[in-house]
Structure 1
Amino acid sequence: MPLSPNLCGSLLMAVAMAGFTMNDSITKLMSSQMNFGEVMLVRGLFAIVLIGALAVHQRAIRPLQTLFVKPVALRIVGEVCGTVSFLAAISHLPLANTSAIMQSLPLAITLGAALTLREPVGWRRWSAIVAGFIGVLIIVRPGVAGFNQFTLLALVSVLFCSLRDLATKRIPSHIPSLFITLLTTITVTTAGAVILIPLGGWTQPSAHAVGLLALAAVLVLIGYQCVIMALRSGDISAIAPFRYTALLWALLLGYLVFGDVPDTMMVTGASIIVASGLYAFYRERIRHREVAASASGLPPDGL
């Protein structure tokens, strides 16, 4: 029996989140062998080759002046800064904690759309935003024992990813998405090469490490392709909530790969964030305003 469009899209979204989270796991694993600037550089080189080949095949290459289109430039700045802060955070935080904080991204996008794009937001969605960020504070727990300053970098990453997604909504439709992805990947890879030296310089990676980073690049591309297919399969508002399966994957991989066991505060905060996000998606659906649902709402992966 064929799957319904919404069910098919939901499964594709769950597969995409698995790919992204596996990429994050590999990145965190490699941070014990090299600095994250080198991770950005090596993984980015593989991604450039793969995306470049796809862009040429689909005739998506455009003049480099596209880089100076304001929304494109803002998107790239958001992705570069979001990637740097995210990788710095994930190198020092449990995988599930970082993932839980990143789940506040759809709420941050709704907040940003209200403040910068004058998107109407009712009191119910404002309440969801406030509740979601209370959940973030529970995870971050500033000023108490167990506070980790690297959680602030995860929050910085959320802010820059919000900039990325809001800018993406303003990019002219005639610019191919694949070419924007290629420009972003080249810039992120270059940024990795630049920050590599102040972070400690080049460490000769093993063949195993290079292979894992190549796999990470492939997983990210599969993830993005699955997201595109998912959003084209059914209703965005029905499929978007399955982004939160990323947290389940992060909990599973965090335990299996790194031996991380989440504490009560993390589980409580994450539950509040997810519940708030799901309610915001629900309100968008009944109000026919797909803001957070239609934005990527994805963690930064250098693409």
Structure 2
Amino acid sequence: MAISDNLRGALYMNLSMFAFTVNDAIMKSLTQNLPLYQTIALRGVVAVLGLILLARATGGLRLPAARHDRALIGLRSVVDVAATILFLTALKHMPLATLSAVMQVTPLAVTLGAALYFKDQIGWRRMLAIIIGFLGVMLIIRPGMEGFSAWSILGLASVATVVVRDLSVRRLSGSVPSLVVALGAASCVLLMGLVGSAIEGWQAITPFQILQICGAGGMVIVGYICSVTAMRVGDIGFVAPFRYTSLLWAIVLGWVFFATFPDGYALIGAAIVVATGIYTLLRERKLRQRARAAA
């Protein structure tokens, strides 16, 4: 039975979010016993080699000729290093589902960042949704109240770096292969892991940890491929909301593997963030459709 492009896109996006969340769960498990930077470096080796092989197989291993594009790739790669350090440090000390709930505010933050930096027009409805979404995050982390973790601040800082990372590629030329962008970021993260591990120290690893590292690197590659494919085969306005399934996977994996489950406040806050994020995406889709109709 044939399925529509939008349904295929939704399936790819679900698989992408599952793969990325499995990677997060594996990395959280590994960093409980291995130094953080060693773990980042080992996963980076797997991810970089996999991306190089994939880029060669698809003919996407070519550097952009324009200096402007190379500068943007460099900026994105450096920011991705900061995002990786902040996220994995927070993940090491926070429940998987709680950090995932905080990260769900990223689409709202990207919309706000685009309005501030690129002067994108956002109406009062989307601005109200963004404000409510950030209030939902405050309900998740509850600053100043019992149960608050200072590591949540690193999670929010990670959101900020992801916003800069995502906005930095908006002006990339359409001819720049996506794999080159991903490979640049993965290579910088690998280099950061090697430098950090030289300072932090190196520890012997077990055969099971080697399998975990290979699994994490493989999940990153699968997640990236499925994410790109999802956005290409389906309508962005339809496919993008399925990013929020990562929170469901995080809750399930956190419960099964780490025996942690979000409390009531975190669940309510997460529901608010997801609802406002989906509303914002659907509102943007509706406005694009109106603009196309008017044109």
TM-score when scaled to structure 2?
0.94
- Cα distance between partner residues in 1 of 2:288 and 2:184: 33
Partner residue of 1:293?
none
- Cα distance between partner residues in 2 of 1:191 and 1:80: 7
Partner residue of 1:106?
107
Q: Equivalent residues in 2 for 1:112-261 (5 A)? A: 112-198=113-199, 200-261=200-261
Q: Do the aligned residues in 2 keep the contact of 1:113 with 1:119 (CA within 8 Å)?
A: yes
CA-to-aligned-CA distance 1:227-284 (integer Å, 9 cap, x gap)? 1221122211011111000000000000000000210111011011001101101110
Q: Do the aligned residues in 2 keep the contact of 1:67 with 1:73 (CA within 8 Å)?
A: no
Q: Do the aligned residues in 1 keep the contact of 2:137 with 2:269 (CA within 8 Å)?
A: yes
Aligned residues: 288
Q: CA deviation at 1:204?
A: 1.0
Tell me, what secondary structure is at the counterpart of 1:69? helix
- Cα distance between partner residues in 2 of 1:167 and 1:257: 35
Which has the higher mean CA deviation after the structures are superposed, 138-147 or 155-164? 138-147
Q: Do the aligned residues in 1 keep the contact of 2:13 with 2:243 (CA within 8 Å)?
A: yes
Partner residue of 2:293?
none
Measured on the aligned residues, the alpha-carbon RMSD in Å equals 1.6
5+ residue gaps, structure 2, are 290-295
TM-score when scaled to structure 1?
0.91
Between the aligned residues of both structures, percent identity stands at: 39
Q: Equivalent residues in 2 for 1:71-90 (5 A)? A: 71-90=72-91
| 1:117–1:245 Cα change, 3 Å | same
Letter in 2 for 1:130: I
Partner residue of 1:18?
18
Q: CA deviation at 1:20?
A: 0.5
Partner residue of 2:44?
44
CA-to-aligned-CA distance 1:78-137 (integer Å, 9 cap, x gap)? 211001100000000000001001100000100110000010011111011101110111
Letter in 2 for 1:139: I
Q: CA deviation at 1:175?
A: 2.2
- Cα distance between partner residues in 2 of 1:185 and 1:2: 36
Q: Do the aligned residues in 2 keep the contact of 1:67 with 1:183 (CA within 8 Å)?
A: no
CA-to-aligned-CA distance 1:13-38 (integer Å, 9 cap, x gap)? 11111101000000000011112211
